[in-house]
Amino acid sequence: MANTGKTIGCLAGLLVVAALAGFLYFKFWWVFSDGTKTGELNSLTYTGYLWKTYEGEIILTGYGSKNSQGTVQSKTFKFSVKDEDVADQLTKLTGSKVTVHYKEYKGALPWRGYEKSVVDHVTLEPGEINVDEPFFL
């Protein structure tokens, strides 16, 4: 009889640990969505108390809304960057129109950044200055 109670307690404990592990996986490591956003790179900062991360913001522009005809509105896309090479590219492109590829998670981790969206690739828009080639004003 005593072994049955221990077995049930052990199974219940394992079930709680498995449920917690599943929750943490889907909250912090499972990629909820990935995609691209295009806009003007407004800022990129290196910030943090314990873990320093790169945090950026892109201004996305759009035309009109359902309530007001003919207006221009803008939104911002806030993101984090883990890769230092991508952060260096973005630093050089501040103020330019860029397209970034990102992965969105349901939760942020301090060593990954403050935002749920993490940029892993950047592309310069056609017609913009290429920072890898010399140019003259």
Q: What is the pLDDT of residue 127?
A: 57
pLDDT tens, position by position, 59-113: 997 665 555 565 666 799 999 999 999 999 999 999 999 999 999 999 988 888 8
State the CB neighbour count (10 A cutoff) for residue 30.
Answer: 12
Q: What is the dihedral of CA 20, 25, 26, 28, to 10 degrees?
A: 110
Would you put residue 109 in left (φ > 0), alpha (ψ -120 to 50) or beta?
Answer: beta
Q: What is the pLDDT of residue 61?
A: 75
Across 37-51, average pLDDT: 93
Share of the chain above pLDDT 70, in %: 80
Q: What is the pLDDT of residue 117?
A: 96
Closest CA to 44 of 96, 76, 87: 87
pLDDT band at 3 (very low <50, low <70, confident <90, very high): confident
Across 124-129, average pLDDT: 62
Q: What is the pLDDT of residue 128?
A: 55
In 1-119, alpha helices (H): 2-24, 84-92
Phi/psi of residue 7, nearest 5 degrees = -65, -45
> At 9, which amino acid appears?
G
> At 91, which amino acid appears?
T
Q: Between 30 and 132, whose confidence is greater?
A: 30
Please tell me the least confidently modeled range out of 21-25, 43-47, 73-77, 113-117.
73-77
Contact 79, 55 (CB under 8 A): yes
Whether residue 40 has pLDDT greater than 90: yes
Q: Which residue has the tokens 């103020």?
A: 95
Whether residue 16 has pLDDT greater than 90: yes
